[in-house]
Amino acid sequence: MPYPGNGIYIVLGEMSLLLTIMKRGTRWPAHSNQDDEQDSLIKSFNKLKDDLSQVGDLMDLEPKIFLTPFLKVIMSNETTGPVTSAALASVDKFISYGLIAPTGPSVASTVESIAFAVIHAKFVGTDPTHDAVVLMKILQLLRTLMLSPVGVLLSNSSVTEILLSCFRFCFEDRL
């Protein structure tokens, strides 16, 4: 799949959507008494926005730079299910749209970082239905990652962890 020329706008759109969901939620109130982790998640998106404004093409930016804020949200134990779900959907979209080119010096480590973050995803459970949706999005993203052109860069141990995670979800008692 050819690399889309408007990749920056895709990332900006997903970032805007995720920030809206984060700020609308009860964990990110509009007033200034946010805790450090929540504030650091918002700050990482603000830094990403600055980084994106300084490049003309997403190919000029290492994939890890535009993925890291989304992966931090996925791994944060302070985010709710809907926020984690939106971050998972964003990363899935980036992979599906080919925003991560399979060539480059740091692509293999970026792909490993995605796998690690998704396998170790955390979120504050709200209700069983929403939690099941998040687990489904995790499985969908792992599937997309394995079947994408960058999936061949996954190490054997990451593929094994992905498969074990899928089996764990099958036997999850809470759902």
pLDDT beyond 90 at 35:
no
Phi, psi of 135 (to 5 degrees): -60, -40
CB of 118 within 8 A of CB of 84? no
Per-residue confidence band for 75, with pLDDT thresholds at 50, 70 and 90? very high
Per-residue confidence band for 34, with pLDDT thresholds at 50, 70 and 90? very low
Instruction: Write b or e for each residue in 100-120: b if 16 or more Cβ atoms lie within 10 A of its Cβ, otherwise e.
Output: beeeeeebeebbebbbebbbe
pLDDT per position as a tens digit, 139-165: 999 999 999 999 999 999 999 999 998
Q: How far apart are CA 64 and CA 110, in angstroms?
A: 5
More confident residue, 14 or 24: 14
Q: How far apart are CA 84 and CA 90, in angstroms?
A: 10
pLDDT beyond 70 at 97:
yes
Domains of the chain, residue spans: 7-170
Sequence-distant (6+) residues with CB within 8 A of 121 are: 74, 75, 84, 88, 134, 138
Per-residue confidence band for 4, with pLDDT thresholds at 50, 70 and 90? low
pLDDT of residue 31: 46
pLDDT beyond 80 at 173:
no
**C-alpha dihedral, 47 to 21 to 111 to 10, nearest 10°:** -70
Q: How far apart are CA 88 and CA 67, in angstroms?
A: 11
Average confidence score pLDDT of the chain: 87
Q: Rounded mean pLDDT of 38-66?
A: 90
More confident residue, 13 or 3: 13
pLDDT per position as a tens digit, 16-30: 999 999 988 755 555
Calculate the alpha carbon distances from 6 to 3, 11, 13, 16 in Å. Answer: 9, 9, 11, 16
CA atoms within 13 A on the CB side of 99: 26
Q: How far apart are CA 25 and CA 8, in angstroms?
A: 26
More confident residue, 81 or 126: 81
